[in-house]
Structure 1
């Protein structure tokens, strides 16, 4: 392509991907062993679709995305707290999908699928699962706007973008790279290194250290005795299993406590957000929406100011003059 006057800096990949809000993805969840019965999955009936339009450059950077929500009015809370970059854009459609007026990208654009979208979906799914563990049973637009920027930071890294263009054989141009992926190469496994036994074991503080010490103790017992298993060995196994269960329970409780505190703080912040609608039709960038909100707030503040009285005293109660004699 450089032979035709096209620089790598001028090569872009443009595509869209969708997210279903309010759904729980299939995942393995670690819970306590004493949990009775099958835990219920929370799947709210109000399911909305949100579309993210992304564009990446072959040199490893990404353009600001466009988020398409289902709705007819912009909500002021979407643009509060400066949670989103000012150059991001939010559009509205009847069903949360793109339209010909917003964007159209039905053609095949592989680099985003290969290098970024898989990481984006996986990271966003992990963030949603964390909310579900915190007993949050519904993912709304505010939750999406909170999680999606974090997923973008992980997905649209320079290495991921460049690897996407490279894996598809586009930049640098190399069709053989794609064809080579169809071949299977067998690798000879590296023999494990010898591990020296620790003659002075230390008190384990986590599961990894406990498993290592268990392996060391059993190895020492095998070296000093070739007799079949004894009640002492069985008792030792039970002690190690009990230690593992105790450590697992402590780790789960600590994680639940931390996540519940964070979720409670997040819910309190969401209650403070304004649900006032913005009187504007069409798409808005974050910067444009914040400007409209500021103008409306200034106009409202000016309308509550009494003429002839300082603005700081507009909301203070009036004081009646004493009667004249």
Structure 2
């Protein structure tokens, strides 16, 4: 998987500034395990991503569609291995090519990769009645149908999609694993057609069987003598103006000496600049779309946990398993989102209550401060009133003291009335009484104080 970083034009190539396509340094691999048959059929493709946990990230398969039948896996370096070769044989190839009769045999032609040439793989093929045929070393570029036809077509189709992706982003949007499936799907469908698969078996002469097709290709042909190049004409010696300054100079020169060759160059410059303007407009639209896609896919990937449990070994996940895992992941994401909304709502309510309490406390503080100010003002006013009352009383006392003193004549003392005291005695049943007159007492104001009447009783036997 390689992301183009710069679009190389004809002018840049001729000037020597750029001789090859540059890339962003991303060397992360994604391995494709493909298999085709001589009747024009293909089995589902298997894609191995680079991942240490042997599990998939949700962003890697976010563009999976309902009609996709891919298998997915992950390895530490993105390459296949013996374990994945055996998994592919048992989980992908055998179910897809299983014959109706258990005694029917199948022929599987593979290259000499170690994932195909090991005892576990060979024994499993023998157990499943699969005849294993291995291409001779260093011959797959001539004999293997996938290398001869299909992988080339797939590479062209994929690079076309990749170039369109980079052109839309002007090379500023990096190519990542989460974008791969979206670009790989149309390339796979365009290249791995029934017609191309039949051509792939026919070109190396495997089916229909024709060994001469390969022998004729590797035969060295007679090299013809080099053709004599014609001398450049006057039109070829003129340079096509492309910048604004060169066009102005070229037009001035044409007005002085108009020729057919110069007019043709002006026409050519006009066509190139018009094409460049259209390309710039299309590039702007594509860049805007690429930026929108990049903004949507900035979310960090999470483990998809396809099996729903931990696993530590290589395994291939079918598209159906991935869809179920995506459904579980979507439900989990929805639940976590609702929980986040609930927590955020609760936090907002708590913050609102806190803010309301702070406002109420502030109002109470203002009211208390206002009351204290009023009390202080009342106290000041009462103190002022008391001081004014004291001053008024002092002024009245002073005014009274300033008035002349009137001496009153002494009042005549009242004559104290004489009160007779009556003593009652009981002697032998006879009552004797005799009043005793005592002088009346007077108060400090000259009023008479009435004495109490004292009764004395006694018996004598």
TM-score class, shorter: 0.5 to 0.7
1:140 aligns with 2:167: no
1:50 aligns with 2:30: yes
For 1:32 and 1:251, how far apart are their aligned partners in 2? 19
1:278 aligns with 2:258: no
1:74 aligns with 2:59: no
RMSD: 4.0
Identify which of structures 1 and 2 has the higher relative contact order when contacts are C-alpha pairs closer than 8 Å and 6+ apart: 1
Q: Residues 133-282 of structure 1 correspond to what in structure 2 (within 5 A)?
A: 133=167, 134=169, 135-136=171-172, 138-181=174-217, 231-271=258-298, 275-279=301-305, 280=307, 281=311, 282=315
* 1:127–1:147 Cα contact (<8 Å) kept: yes
Q: TM-score, normalised by structure 2?
A: 0.46
The alpha-carbon distance between structure 1 residues 259 and 40, as it changes in their structure 2 partners (threshold 3 A), is farther
* 1:24–1:43 Cα contact (<8 Å) kept: yes
Deviation at 1:234, TM superposition (A): 4.4
1:294 aligns with 2:295: no
Aligned to 2:45: 65
More off after superposition, 236-245 vs 46-55: 236-245
For 1:130 and 1:51, how far apart are their aligned partners in 2? 22
More off after superposition, 116-125 vs 106-115: 106-115
Q: Deviations over 1:196-233 (max 9, x none)?
A: xxxxxxxxxxxxxxxxxxxxxxxxxxxxxxxxxx7342
The alpha-carbon distance between structure 1 residues 99 and 139, as it changes in their structure 2 partners (threshold 3 A), is same
* 2:64–2:181 Cα contact (<8 Å) kept: no
Q: Which runs of 5+ in 1 are unaligned?
A: 1-19, 186-229, 307-312, 320-325
For 2:183 and 2:66, how far apart are their aligned partners in 1? 11
1:119 aligns with 2:146: no
* 2:35–2:42 Cα contact (<8 Å) kept: yes
Q: Which runs of 5+ in 2 are unaligned?
A: 86-114, 118-133, 223-256, 350-461
What secondary structure sits across from 1:52 in the alignment?
strand
For 1:125 and 1:300, how far apart are their aligned partners in 2? 34
Q: Deviations over 1:154-183 (max 9, x none)?
A: 211222111110011111122233334457
The alpha-carbon distance between structure 1 residues 151 and 105, as it changes in their structure 2 partners (threshold 3 A), is farther
* 2:3–2:166 Cα contact (<8 Å) kept: no
Aligned to 2:437: none
Deviation at 1:45, TM superposition (A): 3.8
Deviation at 1:62, TM superposition (A): 1.3
Q: Report which of the two structures shows the higher radius of gyration computed on alpha carbons.
A: 2
The alpha-carbon distance between structure 1 residues 178 and 98, as it changes in their structure 2 partners (threshold 3 A), is same
For 1:145 and 1:31, how far apart are their aligned partners in 2? 33
* 2:63–2:182 Cα contact (<8 Å) kept: no
For 2:338 and 2:155, how far apart are their aligned partners in 1? 50
The alpha-carbon distance between structure 1 residues 94 and 241, as it changes in their structure 2 partners (threshold 3 A), is same
What secondary structure sits across from 1:178 in the alignment?
helix
What secondary structure sits across from 2:73 in the alignment?
strand
* 2:28–2:78 Cα contact (<8 Å) kept: yes
Deviation at 1:78, TM superposition (A): 2.3
* 1:43–1:137 Cα contact (<8 Å) kept: no
Aligned to 2:421: none
* 2:12–2:18 Cα contact (<8 Å) kept: no
